[in-house]
């Protein structure tokens, strides 16, 4: 027995030592976070950074973190209007040449200035390498290249007049440092996963996948008081879902939840001690697209019947608990006040009229399938109401909730009668209508091909005169509305929760910017 006890102890110690030896290494104090709680803001997110290269990244957390390092040329204000950021001025010098004049007071964290050459390099690299997940690439179909004509001016050369290029590339594209990215060859394969260089307000210094991401302050940053961001550090912590994030906020583990709150949680958090809930307008919409390549959905009266059968107000009240507004069944979100046409009214809920329309169309016993993503709880609940409402008009809807990748595959192949889903950010009506309603458009889920509508959209794309453009887009939106090329149901307002110990957030539309916009996080501070 005497010999066995040491053996057991030795075995236990050996096992524990093996576990310890396999354990993670501790972070070095020079690059792993820290700072006192008064100068560190901890933000909860539900997704990891997929890719640290802002030209590839495609998760929400990718955008939030890379936005703090790689500036966009333009940002948007609370009304969705484009505003200068890295670019001081922008526009078109002639119909096929656009330009940005950029600030001369921004620097990369390694001391190199941010120049027009960086902007031109980024545009040309996207065109050449076509990085996956890059939103800007789809917006540059009419761009042949970019040239830095001075250290602060970059010109974009267009193959045909396209007024959407400058505002859209300016808003969506992160500018990357040429001297860091170019030596690595193709931007489509450069992971950018260490030794980050940032133009501010913050720079990534530590990344532990599945755990946390720590960013340090970068100076000078011209959009912060005294060119110095107010926080020393920002930490993003990864949680499995929004419920865990809410627990973490209540527990004091995090200061802010980056993701918007589910409608059902908003009221409860609004009355929770120590927590503030901030509303931010959405910049997209939820819609049903009727597949017009399938009969009888190519018949306007059938689409009108489908549109008139749904009680949109009930969906907004029940599913979204009143946290949504009508778009007047228009594809232009109400937040874009300068573009909205108030004369467009929402489709009226009238099952009797819907039955009459179907009878006039000579359609009876109509059965359709409707696909939606099971990962979207709002769509899942709305789908049930839609099914019940359509049944009152004698239309049978077969609901097909699908796992995300199946849903994406079926959407891409047009394998549905009705598509239910949402667009998160529709910041530029001309661009969005071209993607949504031109034949071959990347998100043309109705598969609509109307030459008159296409002509209006293409004219709007071509003109650089904003009033003419608005007139054309208003006409196009009216066509979409009247011909039911899309059934836009509502724009969801977004709500974000944070600890009442913090103040100074700037609110911008959409989950992408919300309270997490770089300028917001460069100015936030503790109360008291």
The Cα 140–Cα 123 span in angstroms is: 9
Chain positions 383 to 442 lying near another protein, rule: CB under 8 A, are 403-406, 408-409, 412, 435, 440, 442
Q: Which listed range, 208-216, 277-285, 352-360, 471-479, lies at the site for another protein (CB under 8 A)?
A: 208-216
281 near another protein, rule: CB under 8 A = no
Does residue 79 bind another protein (CB under 8 A)? no
- Residue 208 or 507 having the CB closest to another protein: 208
DSSP string spanning 448-510?
A: ---HHHHHHHHHHHH---HHHHHHHHHHHHHHHHHTTS-EEEEEE-EEEEEETTEE-PPP-SH
Residue 242 CB neighbour total at 10 angstroms? 18
Q: Is 379 in the site for another protein (CB under 8 A)?
A: no
Q: Is 139 in the site for another protein (CB under 8 A)?
A: yes
Q: Which is nearer to another protein, 135 or 464 (CB)?
A: 135
Nearest to 444 by CA among 280, 292, 338: 292
- Identify any residues that bridge with 488 across adjacent strands, giving them in sequence order: 287
Helices 451-462 & 466-482 angle (0-180, nearest 10): 160
Q: Determine, following the binding rule CB under 8 A, whether residue 374 of this chain makes contact with another protein.
A: no
Pick left, alpha or beta for residue 260 (phi over 0 → left; psi -120 to 50 → alpha; otherwise beta): beta
Nearer to another protein, 306 or 516 (CB): 516
Nearer to another protein, 403 or 500 (CB): 403
Q: What is the 3-state secondary structure (H, E, C) of 144-178?
A: EEEEECCCCEEEEEECCCCCCHHHHHHHHCECCCH
At 100, list the tokens: 């940005």
Contact 271, 506 (CB under 8 A): no
Minimum CB distance to another protein smaller for 411 or for 506: 411
- Residue of the chain from 12, 78, 359, 391 that contacts another protein (CB under 8 A): 12
444 binds another protein per the rule CB under 8 A: no
In the complex with another protein, the residue whose CB is nearer, 211 or 398, is 211
- Beta carbon of residue 58, minimum distance to another protein (angstroms, whole number): 6
Task: Determine the interface stretch with another protein among 10-18, 92-100, 111-119, 487-495 (rule: CB under 8 A).
Answer: 10-18
> Which range in 51-59, 109-117, 278-286, 361-369 contacts another protein by CB under 8 A?
51-59
| Alpha carbon separation from 522 to 38, 278, 313 (Å, rounded) | 14, 18, 39
Kindly tell me which of 241 and 465 has the beta carbon lying closer to another protein: 241
- The three state secondary structure string of 222-236 is CCCHHHCCCCCEEEE
Q: CA-CA distance, 9 to 216, in Å (whole number)?
A: 45
Q: Which of 39, 25, 72, 60 is nearest to 206 (CA)?
A: 25
Binding mask 223-262 for another protein (x = CB under 8 A): ----------x-x-xxxx---x--xx-xx-x---------
**Which position among 206, 230, 259, 523 is part of the footprint of another protein (CB under 8 A)?**
206
Q: How many residues bind another protein (CB under 8 A)?
A: 72
The packing angle between helices 263-270 and 242-251, to 10°, is 10
Which one of the spans 22-30, 102-110, 259-267, 361-369 is the region binding another protein (CB under 8 A)? 22-30
State yes or no: residue 209 binds another protein (CB under 8 A).
Answer: yes
The single residue among 97, 112, 135, 464 that binds another protein, judged by CB under 8 A, is 135
> Is 99 a residue that touches another protein (CB under 8 A)?
no
Candidate residues 24, 111, 342, 528; the one interacting with another protein per rule CB under 8 A: 24
> Taking the CB of residue 279, how many other CB atoms lie within 10 A of it?
13
Subset of 450-479 contacting another protein (CB under 8 A) = none
Our finding on whether 183 is near another protein (CB under 8 A) is no
Smallest gap, in angstroms, from Cβ of residue 296 to another protein? 27
The nearest distance, CB 509 to another protein, in angstroms, is: 19
Nearer to another protein, 444 or 506 (CB): 444
CA distances from 149 to 158, 202, 249, 474 (A): 16, 29, 49, 36
Name the DSSP class of 87.
E
Contact 480, 453 (CB under 8 A): yes
């Amino acid at each position: 027995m005497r010999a066995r006890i040491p053996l057991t102890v030795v075995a236990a110690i050996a096992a524990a030592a093996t576990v310890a030896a396999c354990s993670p290494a501790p972070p070095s104090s020079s690059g792993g976070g820290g700072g006192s709680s008064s100068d560190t803001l901890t933000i909860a997110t539900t997704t990891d950074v997929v890719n640290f290269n802002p030209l590839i990244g495609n998760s929400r957390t990718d955008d939030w973190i890379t936005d703090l390092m790689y500036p966009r040329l333009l940002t948007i204000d609370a009304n969705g209007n484009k505003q200068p950021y890295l670019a001081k001025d922008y526009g078109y010098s002639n119909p096929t040449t656009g330009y940005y004049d950029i600030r001369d007071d921004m620097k990369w964290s390694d001391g190199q200035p941010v120049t027009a050459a960086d902007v031109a390099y980024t545009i040309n690299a996207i065109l050449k390498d076509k990085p996956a997940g890059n939103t800007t690439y789809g917006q540059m179909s009419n761009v042949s290249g970019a040239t830095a004509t001075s250290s602060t001016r970059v010109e974009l050369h267009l193959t045909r007049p396209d007024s959407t290029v400058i505002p859209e590339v300016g808003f969506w594209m992160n500018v990357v440092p040429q001297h860091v990215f170019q030596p690595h060859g193709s931007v489509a394969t450069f992971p950018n996963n260490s030794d980050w260089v940032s133009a501010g307000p913050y720079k990534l210094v530590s990344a532990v996948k599945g755990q946390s991401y720590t960013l340090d302050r970068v100076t000078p940053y011209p959009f912060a008081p005294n060119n110095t961001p107010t926080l020393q550090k920002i930490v993003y912590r990864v949680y499995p879902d929004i419920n865990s994030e809410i627990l973490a906020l209540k527990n004091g583990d995090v200061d802010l939840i980056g993701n918007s709150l589910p409608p059902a949680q908003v009221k409860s958090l609004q009355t929770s001690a120590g927590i503030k809930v901030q509303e931010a307008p959405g910049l997209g919409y939820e819609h049903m697209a009727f597949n017009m390549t399938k009969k009888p959905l190519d018949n306007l009266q059938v689409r009108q019947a489908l549109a008139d059968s749904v009680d949109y107000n009930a969906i907004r009240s029940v599913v979204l608990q009143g946290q949504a507004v009508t778009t007047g069944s228009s594809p232009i979100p109400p937040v874009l006040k300068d573009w909205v046409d108030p004369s467009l009214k929402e489709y009226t809920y009238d099952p009797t009229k819907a039955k009459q329309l179907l009878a006039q169309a000579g359609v009876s016993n109509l059965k359709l399938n409707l696909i939606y993503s099971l990962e979207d709880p709002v769509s899942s609940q709305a789908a049930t109401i839609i099914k019940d409402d359509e049944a009152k008009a004698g239309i049978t809807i077969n609901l097909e909730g699908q796992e995300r990748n199946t849903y994406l595959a079926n959407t891409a192949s047009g394998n549905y009668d009705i598509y239910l889903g949402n667009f998160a950010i529709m910041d530029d009506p001309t661009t969005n209508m071209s993607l949504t309603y031109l034949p071959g458009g990347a998100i043309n889920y109705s598969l609509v091909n109307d030459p008159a509508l296409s002509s209006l959209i293409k004219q709007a794309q071509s003109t650089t005169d904003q009033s003419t453009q608005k007139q054309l887009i208003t006409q196009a939106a009216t066509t979409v509305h009247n011909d039911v090329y899309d059934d836009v149901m509502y724009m969801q307002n977004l709500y974000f929760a944070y600890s009442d110990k913090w103040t100074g957030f700037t609110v911008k539309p959409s989950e992408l910017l919300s309270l997490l916009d770089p300028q917001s996080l460069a100015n936030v501070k503790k109360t008291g």
